[in-house]
Structure 1
Amino acid sequence: MRAFVQIQGTIVAPEEPSEWDPTSPRLWLLFSGLAGARIQGGGVIDGSGSKWWANSCKIDHSMQCKGAPTAMTIDSCRGVRVRNLRLQNAQQMHLTVSRSRDVRLAGVRVEAPEDSPNTDGIHVADSSAVTIQGCRIGTGDDCISISNGSFAVRMKDIECGPGHGISIGSLGQGGSYAAVEGVALDGARISRAQNGVRIKTWQGGAGYVRNVRFANVLVDDVDHPIVIDQFYCDARSPCHNQTSNVRVSNVMFRNITGTARQPEAIRLACSDAVPCSDIVLSDINLLREDGAEVQTICNCAKGFDNGRVRPAADCLRTSPCGGMSPADEAMDKEAAPPVRHTEL
């Protein structure tokens, strides 16, 4: 028999961090090992996160950095469907899908203050064939974040803002290996956000991000609408330059239009040693709110532009960095874990 969960009323987490179960420091509501379950809303999941945020090292720099609970976790599941849930004020992340396959999230609404730290809306990790559709997310971090081990993730009709945008990453922290493939976004409105669509990796990591498509995105009052950042560093002290990185290839940004708050609307900051390759900008139209022109900034990003692209992206063709050697290509293929492909 398939499990059916109806969430009504308001489920409220303990307000005081000291009241939390020390044996479960990173979890609150956990759905684990389910097959074909249906979880639907009508009510509210409230993480009571304000005191957790006050104790965050990103708010109080004297505090030690440590994790906080995720409001809702779907772990080691398959065939799960989640509809019309509302989550708010999570201690840290709001909804995580991990180690799962064939999960569909529809009509999920997430709300947290713009200054709440690490409050990602929907986070996907070590999962495949995940669909996120018709969701409205505004938080203090990424609206949607897609991390290591994620394959065939489809997003459609997403409303994002405020927050840090829709992101793949961060990947490769601490020299780790990461693999993400087959991510597609078709239709989003991103407003009052730091970024629009973004890929972020740490120096020193390994692995790959490939076969990614961000399409049909309207940005409104966004700092940097299009970002690839292979120099990501979310640390108290500066990150040291390193030669290795997670390889980024075959990424398309198509039909992305709207307004940017910063002059550098498109930032393609790729590694000198591991350049980005096959980056495509197609039908892009970005301006400042006052109508002023913006810029495309490239470092070691190789690819081409197609159709009307504003601001111009000539730097995609003139990058001076070298490409992948045949030996590197062979090593990259051998290191890649097996992937089950799903139609996007």
Structure 2
Amino acid sequence: MELGGTRTRGSRTMLFLVLVLMMIMAAAKAASGEGDVGDHDHEQFLKLWTERDGDIGKDYLNWDGDEEEEDGDDDEELEQVMSSAAKCRPTGRNVVNVDSFGAAGDGCSDDTEAFLDAWKKACSLNNAVFLVPGGRRYKVGAARFIGPCKNRMIIQIQGTIVAPEEPSEWDPKSPRLWLLFSGLSGVRIQGGGVIDGSGSKWWANSCKIDRSKPCKGAPTALTIDSCRGVRIHNLHLQNAQQMHLTVSRSRDIRLAGIHVDSPEDSPNTDGIHVADSTAVTILSSRISTGDDCISISNGSFAVKMKGIDCGPGHGISIGSLGQGGTFAAVEAVSLDGAWIHGAMNGVRIKTWQGGAGYVRNVRFANVVVDDVDHPIVIDQFYCDSRNPCHNQTSNVKVSNVMYRNITGTSRRAEAIRLACSDAVPCVDIVLSDINLLREDGAEVEMVCNCAMGFDYGRVRPAADCLRTSPCGGGVSPDVHPDDEDDDKIRHTEL
């Protein structure tokens, strides 16, 4: 007993000495004026990113009151900070206002450099607020906001950030990006402001609108890349040049209260696009656009969607996957609660022939469809090309997909279409509590090719083809859910 007590006292003494030493080192660093983001911070970010399966940085990334399921009032703290700052009282927050760095906010002057200078300052401060004030319109060109930054940064967008209207004004070094946030950990982006891509002239130059023009990429309005623990709340994105908001190569990202608004005929303007990312949650968001409301592509795992208002648009999609014979992997995707209205599709999985890999463990539940062309779609013959696609034997395997409590109206008689590959059939497809009709109350149908599974509960239309689905004759690979006109170019994911 005495020996154990001695060891305990020795451990406590050692811990105390270590803490004292850390405090002395921190004081020395502060006295030397080392306040900029340095190698240590960069190493901390890399450690957070590479330690994917551990708890490294858990406390660093979590904010007080940050609940996974509830969409709380993230702006309340910032409102208190602004109110206190106006009265010249200490707030504990370092507010960095873009106006203080020369931003005009008149919608005409180029405020790009002012934004980047303000970012550099905010990124170097603990408890910083990068502030874009309300009531003003800031014209900003292609800009990269790169971390890592100091702890607990808030990016508060209250005004409007607008892109240059002319594609000719665009920086050729950044053809696919407008506002890029990269290398950030534990950051909040919020504020109720607007990000406006001024996309109309970009759309006019799209090969989907003018077939004489070559198909090429256009900027994504807001990109979250190589980030971890980022929360985006209460933002309005509109008229993106191409996609509105992309999450790529990131982990533990939460989007809530996102509003996306673009015309129904705007080409390739996906609302929220997820790629190569893990643990992405999308809550309580309203998306009206010309393409997929939400698209989930290769390398995406543990993606959760809840409370989605989608329409018009192309619906909520996994894919497309496997283009050009590539390997693709998507797993653990769930949608719980959505209203999809006036859209081309409801919930869809789309893959190219010739690809490899898998889509598995997917759940679409509690979805109301209203005036949707095809409420439920699996299309393993997806062909987004000006030229016909050749039949190939390999494909991305689709398995363990559940559709539960999906109800509403279909514009077309073929409400459910499961067009799966002869060589790589879809397996373990489950339908439960499905009730779909035409708007006039007429019955609809379900069509299967190489789709195998079962149904239980009330399923309307009847899902007999899940048990008897033929391979090689049920569904023609030359027909796709997006086909309304043989001369129309379908969705082009550039």
Q: TM-score range by the shorter chain?
A: over 0.9
- CA positional deviation for 1:250: 0.2
Letter in 2 for 1:27: L
1:97 corresponds in structure 2 to 247
- Give the one of 204, 227, 231 matched to 1:81: 231
Say whether the 8 Å CA contact 1:215–1:254 is kept in structure 2: yes
Say whether the 8 Å CA contact 1:90–1:112 is kept in structure 2: yes
Say whether the 8 Å CA contact 2:448–2:470 is kept in structure 1: no
- Give the one of 160, 181, 185 matched to 2:310: 160
- CA positional deviation for 1:53: 0.4
Give CA deviations for 1:128-183 in whole Å, capped at 9, x if unaligned. 00000000001000000000000000000000000000000000011111000000
Letter in 2 for 1:308: R
Unmatched runs of 5 consecutive residues or more in structure 2: 1-150, 473-494
2:437 corresponds in structure 1 to 287
Give CA deviations for 1:41-88 in whole Å, capped at 9, x if unaligned. 311000000000000001100000000000000000000000000000
TM-score (structure 1 length as normaliser): 0.93
Number of residue pairs the alignment of both structures matches: 322
Give CA deviations for 1:270-313 in whole Å, capped at 9, x if unaligned. 00010000000100000000000000000000000110000001
Q: Does 1:72 align with 2:222?
A: yes
Alignment partners' CA distance in 1, 2:353 and 2:281 = 30
- Counterpart mapping for 1:195-234 below 5 A: 195-234=345-384
1:275 corresponds in structure 2 to 425
1:242 corresponds in structure 2 to 392
Q: Give the 3-state SS of the residue equivalent to 1:170 in structure 2.
A: strand
Q: Give the 3-state SS of the residue equivalent to 2:463 in structure 1.
A: coil
Letter in 1 for 2:272: I
- CA positional deviation for 1:8: 1.4
2:446 corresponds in structure 1 to 296
2:457 corresponds in structure 1 to 307
Q: Does 1:20 align with 2:166?
A: no
Letter in 2 for 1:245: N
1:170 corresponds in structure 2 to 320
User: Which structure would you say has the larger RCO, counting Cα contacts within 8 Å and 6 or more residues apart?
Assistant: 1
Q: Give the 3-state SS of the residue equivalent to 1:134 in structure 2.
A: strand
Alignment partners' CA distance in 1, 2:191 and 2:346 = 28
Letter in 2 for 1:301: A
Say whether the 8 Å CA contact 1:158–1:187 is kept in structure 2: yes
- CA positional deviation for 1:320: 3.5
Alignment partners' CA distance in 1, 2:192 and 2:284 = 16
Q: Give the 3-state SS of the residue equivalent to 1:62 in structure 2.
A: coil
2:199 corresponds in structure 1 to 49
- Give the one of 234, 239, 256 matched to 2:406: 256
Identity %: 85
- CA positional deviation for 1:110: 0.1
1:146 corresponds in structure 2 to 296
TM-score (structure 2 length as normaliser): 0.65
Q: Which has the larger radius of gyration?
A: 2
Give CA deviations for 1:218-257 in whole Å, capped at 9, x if unaligned. 0000000000000011111111111110000000000000
Q: Give the 3-state SS of the residue equivalent to 1:52 in structure 2.
A: helix
- CA positional deviation for 1:321: 4.1
Q: Give the 3-state SS of the residue equivalent to 2:213 in structure 1.
A: coil
Letter in 2 for 1:303: G
Query: Which structure's residues are more often strand, by fraction?
Result: 1
Say whether the 8 Å CA contact 1:41–1:86 is kept in structure 2: no
Q: Does 1:266 align with 2:416?
A: yes
What is the aligned-residue RMSD (CA, Å)? 0.8
Alignment partners' CA distance in 1, 2:274 and 2:332 = 13
Alignment partners' CA distance in 2, 1:3 and 1:22 = 30
Q: Give the 3-state SS of the residue equivalent to 2:324 in structure 1.
A: helix
1:327 corresponds in structure 2 to none
